[in-house]
Structure 1
């Protein structure tokens, strides 16, 4: 399996935390040196491990914010 490189360029929010200390976070992450994208996923303490998540472009994040604002 290829080595995946990432850099958390901006930590935006912790959305929740599990009893084991893993946190679901919203961050801006640069994957393999590319332009940072919005990313929602679970992280172990100190970001030493990550769970599955979803990565969104700026346009996708704008659409998500638009849709979520209609739900309340």
Structure 2
């Protein structure tokens, strides 16, 4: 299955593995659609990726609300 993507904005790096891949929060446009927030691991050039989760702005706001409630 072929698909296209464009990293519109690199928001931040959450962690980096020993293999150099980084778990990142980015704003990504998938198949020329409206960009969504995306958490997944990427190689250094953003050419290869692993499975991740994509969130709309409403879902991201709800996630922030949930995280703010956590006692860490």
Q: TM-score, normalised by structure 2?
A: 0.95
Q: Please identify runs of 4+ aligned residues in structure 1 that moved more than 3 A.
A: none
Post-superposition shift, 1:24?
A: 0.1
> Following superposition of structure 1 onto structure 2, how do residues 1-72 of structure 1 map, counting pairs within 5 Å?
1=1, 3-72=2-71
Determine the C-alpha separation between the residues in 2 that align with 1:7 and 1:48.
10
The alignment of Structure 1 onto Structure 2 pairs a total of residues equal to 71
Distance across 2 between alignment mates of 1:5 and 1:12: 20
Q: Which runs of 5+ in 2 are unaligned?
A: none
For residues 3-26 of structure 1, what are the alpha-carbon distances to aligned partners after superposition, in whole Å with 9 as ceiling and x for unaligned? 110011100000000001000000
TM-score norm. by structure 1 comes to: 0.95
Deviation per residue, 1:25-64 (Å, 9 max, x gap):
0000000011000000000111121000000001100000
SS of the aligned residue for 2:7 comes to strand
Comparing both structures, which one devotes a greater share of its residues to strand? 1
Tell me the SS of whatever aligns to 2:25: strand
